[in-house]
Amino acid sequence: MQNDSRRQSVSVEHTYDQDLPKLEDCLAQLPALMATLEERLKRLDSSYRPVKPFVKVKFHDFTQTTLEQAGAARDLASYQLLLAQAFARGGKPVRLLGIGARLDDLRGRHEQLELFQR
């Protein structure tokens, strides 16, 4: 059996040695996370299109939440908004932050279009 699974998202996350106690501390980490994410997105082949930004927050008590938004841009303001909303869900010091983008698989779409064009 051959497994032809395709990537569904690209993300980067970081676990902090010391918990980030406030939202401002978390927001200050976004530019570095975004730089790493952009590097990973640049390495994708053209059969993928990033479509939906998301954030993952793991709190000091290991509870976690993930929040994504369809139609949002992958810019600093969009990630700041998502992070603020995710932080508000827990309102506790943060152990891990992650950001990423869900991917649209253009290859799968192309194959299906060919099927109907015959």
Q: What is the pTM of this model?
A: 0.85
Cβ atoms 97, 20 nearer than 8 A: yes
CA distances from 117 to 33, 110, 111, 113 (A): 42, 11, 10, 6
- The tens-digit pLDDT sequence of the chain (118 residues) is 445 577 899 999 999 999 999 999 999 999 999 999 999 999 998 889 999 999 999 999 999 999 999 888 899 999 999 999 999 999 999 999 999 999 998 886 554 444 455 4
96, 55 Cβ separation under 8 angstroms: no
**Residue 14 amino acid letter:** H
Q: Architecture of domain 10-117 in CATH? A: 2-Layer Sandwich (3.30)
Cα–Cα dist 77/26, whole Å = 14
